[in-house]
Amino acid sequence: MYLKLNHFCLLLMPVSILGSAFNYTNCDQAKQPKFLSSCCHVQWHDKTSDSCRKSLLKEKAQLDKVELHACMAECVFKISGYFLTNGSINVEAIQRNYQQQYKNDSTMSQLISKSLNICADYARKRSEQFQWMSSKGQCDYLPATLMACIMEQVYENCPASRWKISNECQAMRKYLLACDDVRS
C-alpha cells in the first residue's frame, strides 16, 4: 500500500487567493477559493485515504474540520505503518514508499524526498505547539502537520511539467513563497 500525496490533499486547508486584492504580507488574513491541488498535478485518491475518510465521517461527525483532518492523517499513518507506537513518525518508511511510488519520475521522487527531509523536524516542533488543541481521546496533529508541510513544499517547487499556468496558480505560488514558515 503506497502513501500518496493525495492522502493529505484534504488535510491542507485551502490557502487564500483573491487576485489583485491579495495581500502577500498578511498571510493569516488571506482567503483563497482554490485548492493547491488544482495548480500542481500530483496523484490523488487512493483506497487508504478514502477508507479513513469514510470511517471518520461516520465515527467522528462531531469533530471540526481541523480535528477531522488530523484524525484522517493519523488514520492513514497508522494503517500504513508510518505512525509508531511511541508517537513518532517512521520517516524512513515514508521515504521508501515515495521512492517506490515515484520510481519512474526522478524529479518528483527527489522533490518529495527533499520535502520530507525539510519537514520532518519542522512538523515535530509545530505539532508540539499544537498540543493544547488536542483534547483527551482525540487525534495527534503530527501526521497532518508533516503532510501539510510536504504538500506545501511540493506545490511551492512543483516541476514545470506538472504546473498549471494561470494567474490564480501564480498567485498561489507567490503566497506559498511569501508565507512559508518552514524556512522562517
Q: pLDDT tens digit string along 41-64?
A: 887 557 888 889 888 887 766 777
The domain ranges of the chain are 47-178
Q: Work out the pLDDT band at 26, boundaries 50, 70, 90.
A: low
Q: pLDDT tens digit string along 111-165?
A: 999 999 999 999 988 888 767 665 555 788 899 999 989 988 988 899 999 988 9
Nearest CA among 145, 181, 168, 182 for reference residue 35: 168
Q: Identify the residue with better confidence: 82 or 69.
A: 82
* CATH topology (fold) of 47-178: Recoverin; domain 1 (1.10.238)
